[in-house]
Copies of this chain bind each other. A is one copy, B any other.
Amino acid sequence: MLRQFRPQRSLAKQPISRLLAAWQEPSRSYSIHANAASTAKIQDIDPSKLTITKTKAPKELIPASELVFGRSFTDHMLSIEWTASEGWLAPRITPYQNLSLDPASCVFHYAFECFEGMKAYKDSNGKVRLFRPTKNMERMNKSSARIALPTFDQAAMIKLISQFSQMEERFIPSTKGYSLYLRPTMIGTQKTLGVGPPGSALLYVIASPVGPYYPTGFKAISLEATNYAVRAWPGGVGDKKLGANYAPCIVPQLEAAKRGFHQNLWLFGEEEFVTEVGTMNMFAAIKNKETGQKELITAPLDGTILEGVTRDCVLSLAREKLVPEGWKVLERKYTMKELSEAAQEGRLLEAFGAGTAAIVSPIRNICWKGDMVDCGLRPEEEAGELASKMKNWIEARQYGDEEHEWSYTVPE
């Protein structure tokens, strides 16, 4: 049986001898709920138990050209409740509806929440496809475990998301660039204020039809390097997709916007390492100072940057297609100073952000300590060569124009 860790009170009554005995005998342990799904006694997600309640008031489709990211949602939602004693209960697809939660629920107080961002696409045959869904489910389990929320069977969840996406397929426009944004979300629902692992949780998926990020072609963005706030820290949670990583980013984003920039750029440490662009990973293409070698660089997964799925796609495609053309692909730390020097010496070829929303987002320049670091685009250019290629390569696999294991065709 799982035991709730309710801090201090009961343990405080134990004599120190017993505490030390416990210390010497690590087997006397308080289970971490994050491991709950892997124990035998409580049940994992079971797609065969899915119940479906269809809406009686199907929504009218919004014209594709009027879609705004995350503003309109489909007819239904997928929900799965979890309790520490029973595990994952029967999945339900119901009409999209409000959640009714006790005001003491721990999601409102202690940010017990994590999420994923993924998309369903319609291919040229009208079939629904998911893109690398295992990557998202793997990451979601890492996120939830880090905040003592339950983990789950990834294949079972992909099956349910597939079924849900297929059910909502009328909301996915067939036009290239359009897709159905899927938002798996897990929240802690325990309704007590003690700070401890949630004894209950809710995993749900909502879906929002979205248009292309750049409807009329790329528009390069301008960034402000943030030097007064720090997004993440080694030993922190900046590599997980937790709600906790987002609210604190808004004020720096607004500060950058106030001065006319599209996004802020997160730096780290006295060295001013480049980490992330707003809510995207960042890539820079430079010519090596000594050798002239062309290098595509991005920050390593050291705990301070999100483990982006698009980041992984860019790296994979670069290794597959750019390395044979003579490029080097490097996951390594790099600084603003290095970018600035490369820019001054004409060695900064291009830079771009990478994320699920935009796929790639070309960067025109970065304001750093009041100076503008020019990222290599000509004035009339909105995207560099690599950014353009990457977008095409990734989209070809997302929409199934190129058959590839990254694309998962949903059974009808």
Contacts and interface: CB of A to CB of B under 8 A. Distances in A.
Nearest to A69: B194
A389 interface: no
Identical chains bound together, number: 2
Interface stretch (A15-23, A54-62, A322-330): A15-23
A241 to B, nearest CB: 10
B221 A71 contact: no
Interface stretch (A108-116, A333-341, A395-403, A404-412): A108-116
A302 interface: no
Given A213-B9, A260-B19, A247 B32 contact: no
Given A109-B246, A246-B110, A364 B100 contact: no
B206 A104 contact: yes
Given A103-B204, A254-B32, A8 B247 contact: no
A229 interface: yes
Interface stretch (A43-51, A158-166, A185-193, A291-299): A185-193
Contacts of A146: 248, 251
Given A112-B247, A222-B19, A365-B16, A7 B104 contact: no
A195 B260 contact: no
14 contacts: A8-B357, A13-B219, A22-B260, A32-B254, A34-B251, A71-B194, A104-B206, A111-B243, A111-B244, A147-B251, A228-B235, A230-B233, A230-B236, A242-B248
Interface of A: 5, 7-9, 11-13, 16, 18-23, 26, 28-30, 32, 34, 68-71, 73, 77, 96-104, 107-113, 115, 145-148, 181, 183, 185, 187-188, 192-197, 204, 206, 208, 213-214, 216, 219-222, 228-230, 233-237, 242-251, 253-254, 257-263, 278-279, 357-358, 361, 364-365, 367, 379
